[in-house]
Amino acid sequence: MTKNNLLRKELGYKGLNVTDCMEMKAISNSFGTVDGCVRSIKAGSDVVLVSHTLEKQKAAIKAVIQEVKEGKISEERINQSGLRVLSLKKKRIGLSGFSISDYKKIDKKIEEKVALQVAKEGVTLVKDENNLIPIDKSKLKKVLVLDLHSNRLSLAADEIKEKNLLSGYLKEEGLRVEYYSFDNSREGDIELSSLLKKIDLVIVCSYDAIHHPYQVNTIKRLQSLNIPFIVLSVCNPYDLICFPEVPTFLTTYDYSPFNLKIAGKVIVGKHKAQGILPVTLKF
């Protein structure tokens, strides 16, 4: 069943169909970006994204034009997408002139309010078998925030500049916090047990652990030491697949300040996690 049959006919979708970047490895390592673009248009896409490489953009455009010249993609098919693009532009911005954004009109307070609300509704407590959340601050002398962040994995992600936001928020809540940034290059530099002296609870922040085996190894080593710990995944919930046996798993869906602030409030009991997993995980 083609995308056209499913979306346009079976589901009755009338709107614009936009792809994700066709340079993603699922496409580039199978069909290839250029052929993937051609196939996507044949399947019914209206806007096809090639987000990173100019030469691949040019090659994809050339390939589509050639397909039209050879009659493999009809001009009518191209016109249908063109009309949908124009229809959306007319609806949203009109067609009499170009819409120009004025950065001076950006209301930062409104944006921050929306971001905070998204975080409040998004932070998800997936499991808490030992009832560690909310923590009992009266019984904790010192907390260790163990940061396993890594550099961004793609050009679409933001660079991680500040890695101690969570520890800062926890300190604001009155906790005594130690912070240690643990990355692949430093894995063997220090014994994990030496970090845990006089520590009552560890909050370990994983980041896309499936691509970073050292994170999985560190968390499994931590679990073998029998100290209470919370795993906070600050990229996505799929980290849980790498260590399904951890008893307490909290996730945000990015490492933005508002998400980390709300995660901190969830941990200390000032906010109840409201998020629901958008995917099915087996653990």
Q: Confidence class of residue 99 from pLDDT cuts 50, 70 and 90?
A: low
User: Are 81 and 117 in the same domain?
Assistant: no
pLDDT at position 138 is 85
Q: Confidence class of residue 93 from pLDDT cuts 50, 70 and 90?
A: confident
Lowest mean pLDDT among 97-111, 152-166, 175-189: 152-166
* Residue 162 in domain: yes
User: Are 155 and 131 in the same domain?
Assistant: yes
User: Are 171 and 148 in the same domain?
Assistant: yes
- Percent of the chain, pLDDT > 70? 88
Asked whether residue 70 carries a pLDDT value surpassing 90, the answer given is yes
* Each residue's pLDDT tens digit, 144-161: 999 886 555 454 455 555
Q: Which of 194, 196, 217 is nearest to 206 (CA)?
A: 217
Domain count, the chain: 2
Which tokens belong to 149?
């962040």
Taking each helix axis from N to C terminus, what angle separates 257-268 and 165-172, rounded to the nearest 10 degrees? 40
* Residue 165 in domain: yes
The whole-angstrom separation of Cα 126 and Cα 129 is: 10
* Each residue's pLDDT tens digit, 231-259: 999 988 999 999 999 999 999 998 889 99
The whole-angstrom separation of Cα 283 and Cα 281 is: 6
The whole-chain average pLDDT of the chain stands at: 86
Please report which helix (H) or strand (E) contains residue 177, including its range.
strand 177-181
Asked whether residue 186 carries a pLDDT value surpassing 50, the answer given is yes
User: Are 191 and 66 in the same domain?
Assistant: no
Asked whether residue 114 carries a pLDDT value surpassing 50, the answer given is yes
Lowest mean pLDDT among 176-185, 187-196, 271-280: 187-196
Lowest mean pLDDT among 53-67, 117-131, 135-149: 135-149
Q: Confidence class of residue 75 from pLDDT cuts 50, 70 and 90?
A: very high
Tell me the mean pLDDT in the region 6-15: 86
User: Are 155 and 207 in the same domain?
Assistant: yes
Q: Confidence class of residue 102 from pLDDT cuts 50, 70 and 90?
A: confident
* Each residue's pLDDT tens digit, 22-59: 998 889 889 899 999 999 999 989 999 998 889 999 99
User: Which residue, of 58, 92, 126, is where some domain finishes?
Assistant: 92
User: Are 176 and 142 in the same domain?
Assistant: yes
Asked whether residue 188 carries a pLDDT value surpassing 50, the answer given is no
Of the spans 175-189, 215-229, 261-275, which averages the highest pLDDT?
261-275
* Residue 280 in domain: no
The whole-angstrom separation of Cα 67 and Cα 141 is: 68
The whole-angstrom separation of Cα 241 and Cα 84 is: 40
Is the peptide bond prior to 257 cis by the omega test (within 30 degrees of 0)? no
Chain centre to alpha carbon of residue 258: 14
**Which CATH number is 239's domain given?**
3.40.50.1700
* Residue 100 in domain: no
Cβ neighbours of residue 126 closer than 8 Å, sequence gap 6 or more: 237, 240, 249, 250, 251, 277, 281, 283
DSSP summary character for residue 222: H
Can you tell me whether residue 141 is helix, strand or coil? coil
User: Are 110 and 209 in the same domain?
Assistant: yes
User: Which residue, of 92, 127, 149, is where some domain finishes?
Assistant: 92
pLDDT at position 156 is 47
pTM equals 0.68
Cβ neighbours of residue 76 closer than 8 Å, sequence gap 6 or more: none
User: Are 171 and 215 in the same domain?
Assistant: yes
Tell me the mean pLDDT in the region 211-234: 90
pLDDT at position 149 is 62
Asked whether residue 12 carries a pLDDT value surpassing 70, the answer given is yes
The whole-angstrom separation of Cα 99 and Cα 104 is: 15
* Residue 23 in domain: yes
Can you tell me whether residue 210 is helix, strand or coil? helix
Q: Which of 22, 2, 7 is nearest to 84 (CA)?
A: 7
User: Are 71 and 201 in the same domain?
Assistant: no
Residue range(s) defining the domain that contains residue 31:
3-92
pLDDT at position 21 is 93
User: Are 42 and 153 in the same domain?
Assistant: no
Taking each helix axis from N to C terminus, what angle separates 33-43 and 75-92, rounded to the nearest 10 degrees? 80
